[in-house]
Chain A
Amino acid sequence: MPTNQNSKNMLVVVHGMGEDTREGVEAEVRQVLSDKLGSNIEDKVDVRAIAYNKVFNDWRRRAADNWKQAVNALEGRVHFTRTKSFLEKAVKVNDDNFYATHWLDVVLYMSTLGVRVQLEVARQMTQILQEFNNGGNLNSRKIVLMAHSLGTAVTHDTLHKMWHGGFEDARYNNLSKMPFTFSAFYQLANTSRLLKTGIDPTSRQTAVRPAPSGMMELMYNVHHKFDPIALVKAFKIDDLARWLPEQNWPDEFFFDVELSGVHAVNVHGMTHYLSDPRLHCPLFNLLIDDYSYPPDRSAQYKKHDKGVFGKKVDKLKASIDAIDFDEIESISEIAEFWKKIEAVQSDADAKLEDLTAALKAIADKGDE
Chain B
Amino acid sequence: MNSIKVLIGIVSLLLLFVSPVKAGEICESRLDSLEFEDFKAWIQTVRESNCARTTLSEYPELARVDVGDDPVAATSAYQAAVRVFLSVIGKGSFDPDFIQITKTMNLQSHADAVNFKALTFNLKEPEGTGYPDIERTIDIGNTAVTTYKTYRRYCVTAKDETACALWEKTARLLGAMAYITEDYRGVIIGYTLTQFQRKLDDTIDKWDDYFEQRKPQLPWEMAINQVANRGVRTKPYFTLPPRGDWIVLHPALVYSHIGDAPDGEQDEAALAIELVGYNWWEREYLSGFSVVAINSDRARVDDTGYGLMLHFRSHYSLGWSKNGDDEGWFVSIDLLNAVDDKRKQVRAKRDEIKTEFEAVKPGLEALLNAQ
Which A positions have Cβ atoms within 8 angstroms of B? Answer: 1, 58-59, 62-63, 65-67, 69-70, 72-74, 77, 79-80, 83, 86-87, 90, 110-112, 114-116, 118-120, 122-123, 126-127, 129-130, 133-134, 136-140, 160-162, 164-171, 173-180, 197-199, 205, 212-213, 248-249, 252, 285, 289, 292-293
Contact = CB atoms under 8 A, between A and B. Distances in A.
Contacts of B143: 212
Contacts of B145: 212
Contacts of A176: 135
Interface stretch (B83-91, B183-191, B359-367): B183-191
Contacts of B182: 1, 136-139
Contacts of B78: 179
Contacts of A213: 135, 138-139, 142
Contacts of B109: 248
B199 A66 contact: no
A160 B250 CA distance: 37
Contacts of A90: 219
A179 B37 contact: no
B185 A180 contact: yes
B355 interface: no
Contacts of B41: 289
B200 A123 contact: yes
Nearest to A118: B238
B237 A167 contact: yes
A74 B201 CA distance: 39
A117 to B, nearest CB: 10
B236 A162 contact: no
B338 interface: no
B233 A248 contact: no
- Which residue among A87, A112, A162 has the maximum number of chain B CB atoms within 10 Å of its CB? A112
A309 B179 CA distance: 51
Contact of B189 (A86, A174, A180, A197): A180
A72 B203 CA distance: 35
Interface stretch (B3-11, B210-218, B320-328, B340-348): B210-218
A63 B197 CA distance: 29
Contacts of A119: 200, 203-204, 207, 238
A197 B235 CA distance: 9
A162 B44 CA distance: 29
Contacts of B251: 70, 73-74, 80, 83
Nearest to B134: A177
A90 B222 CA distance: 13
A170 B37 contact: no
B271 A164 contact: no
Contacts, number: 190
Question: Contact size class for B?
Answer: 35 or more
A10 B138 CA distance: 23
A82 B83 CA distance: 72
Contacts of A130: 190, 193-194, 197
A173 B218 contact: no
A175 B192 contact: yes
Interface string B234-278: 111111111000000111110000000000000000010000000
B218 A66 contact: yes
14 contacts: A59-B211, A67-B219, A73-B253, A83-B251, A112-B225, A123-B200, A126-B200, A161-B236, A165-B235, A165-B236, A177-B134, A199-B236, A248-B107, A289-B41
Contacts of A74: 251, 271
B311 interface: no
Contact of A168 (B107, B135, B235, B252): B235
A66 B236 CA distance: 31
Nearest to B183: A1
Contacts of A179: 78, 134, 137-138, 181, 185, 188-189
Given A111-B226, A168-B237, A168-B239, A133 B138 contact: no
A7 to B, nearest CB: 12
Contacts of A292: 37
Contacts of A171: 237
Contact of B233 (A111, A126, A212, A285): A111
A169 B178 contact: no
B29 interface: no
- Which residue among B181, B199, B222, B238 has the maximum number of chain A CB atoms within 10 Å of its CB? B238
A72 B235 CA distance: 38
Contacts of B222: 111
A138 B186 contact: yes
A287 B317 CA distance: 59
Interface in B165-184: 178-179, 181-183
A119 B13 CA distance: 55
